[in-house]
Amino acid sequence: MQISFGFGTGTQVVEVPDKNVIDILHANEVEHELEGADEVRRALANPIGAPLLKDVVKPGEKIAIITSDITRPMPSYVVVPVLLDALYEIGCKKEDITVVFGLGSHRKQTPEEMKKLVGERAYSEVKCVDSDPDDCVHMGTTKMGTPVDITRVVAEADKRICLGNIEYHYFAGYSGGSKAIMPGVSTRNAIQNNHSRMVQEEACAGRLEGNPVREDIEESGEICGIDYIINVVLDEHKHVIMAAAGDKVAAHREACRFLDRIYRKDIPERADIVLVSQGGAPKDLNLYQTQKALDNAKHAIKKGGVIILIGSCKEGLGERCFEEWMTTSEKAHDMIDRIKVDFQLGGHKAAAIAMVLENADIYLVSDLEDDFVRSIFLEPKSSAQAALDDAFAKLGPDATVLAMPYGGSTLPHAAK
């Protein structure tokens, strides 16, 4: 059978013998009546755990709308115009509204990227800015010692409305909710303190309760103050098929439950070979983002197997500290030893890759130079088909195969 994987703005297609395929992890079919802007309007008219927006926001208040940056598939161009219409209906003025892109530890964006994210109408109507980690207000400290240092335009707003899309996160459990605040509009030091809990066993994909990273994120959101959220769940084509608006925890949890119905995938057994992609642009811009698909794939691979990671990575590694760890370590295992005594944001993803390498080989299909890929402990392959052929040569013609075309979204759960 032929299986297609997103690769940048294009695709990689592989031919796999039917007898070898355990499963292709696509989303489960879930019935839904509305999509896109209509679904967002429905959510705003039916808030979860909160009153209607008109009873929360008042005319004359300064409003910060916090949404995702270019590395996320969040369709702000769908959600923001609907939210603006709702705010205008309340009586809010355009000059009192600012859209803030939560960069976290990511690079600054161009005006063209901002316009693409929110759409031309929103970009022309209200002020749109990146979060600024160098201009923050200290609002408090969590019980775990994380400083709640929030970019000024958000900290000084009268009302904060957080947007986000829900997907699995490899140590925060799920994206969305208060994650727009921490790490979205926080400082590098704050993010580093929060993310240092990733080494704990309870910090894993699909877990909320008892997850130290998520609990610290939500305490940060409580200290900062989040007045409303709109979180959306996307199908494999990045269309909004569910929206939840209202309370920062209650609405978030409802969206997470919906996500599980679609993307949590039970598999009968782990596979010898896992083919995995983030699904293409913008989620495979760099290895820093593409790593998320790899981390989900680790739940489906047998010890000694081969993970074929398919992602353009046309912007390179994508983060300074991550690059330093990946390019200066003598052995992959050194990064695991290092993270235990010297947690650094960026280095944490390098260590996560090293942990996967403890159990499996990683073949990388990307736009990166072959010699560079070898230098960071991965095996370069010219195409997904070439990688699969080499994996069969290594493991034998009867090797089992599992495909994850949207690896950042689908979370395998093996029966054994």
Q: How many residues does the chain have?
A: 416
Mean pLDDT, range 363-387, rounded to an integer? 98
Q: What is the DSSP letter of 50?
A: S
Confidence at residue 80, expressed as pLDDT on a 0 to 100 scale:
98
Instruction: Give every strand in the sheet of 97-102, ordered side by side.
Output: 127-130, 97-102, 63-68, 159-165, 228-234, 240-246
**Torsion angles phi and psi, residue 38, rounded to 5:** -60, -40
Would you identify the CATH topology of the domain 57-226?
Answer: Rossmann fold (3.40.50)
**Which superfamily does 2-27+264-414 belong to?**
LarA, C-terminal domain (3.90.226.30)
Domains 2-27+264-414 and 57-226 share a fold: no
| Domain extents in the chain | 2-27+264-414, 57-226
CA distance 341 to 339: 6
Mean pLDDT, range 347-353, rounded to an integer? 93
DSSP three-state, residue 155: helix
Q: What is the DSSP letter of 409?
A: T
Residues of the chain with pLDDT > 90: what percent? 83
Confidence at residue 345, expressed as pLDDT on a 0 to 100 scale:
76
Q: What is the largest CA-CA distance in the chain?
A: 68
Strand partners, 361: 306
Strand partners, 65: 99, 161
Is the pLDDT reported for residue 352 higher than 70?
Answer: yes
Confidence at residue 220, expressed as pLDDT on a 0 to 100 scale:
97
CA distance 244 to 40: 8
pLDDT digits (tens, 9 = 90+) for 290-310: 998 999 999 999 999 999 999
Confidence at residue 104, expressed as pLDDT on a 0 to 100 scale:
83
CA distance 115 to 132: 18
Q: How confident is the model at residue 416 (pLDDT cuts 50, 70, 90)?
A: low
Mean pLDDT, range 378-404, rounded to an integer? 98
Residue type, 244: A
Confidence at residue 331, expressed as pLDDT on a 0 to 100 scale:
97
**Count of alpha carbons within 13 angstroms of residue 364, beta-carbon side:** 29
**Torsion angles phi and psi, residue 341, rounded to 5:** -115, -15
CA distance 145 to 193: 7
pTM (two decimals): 0.81
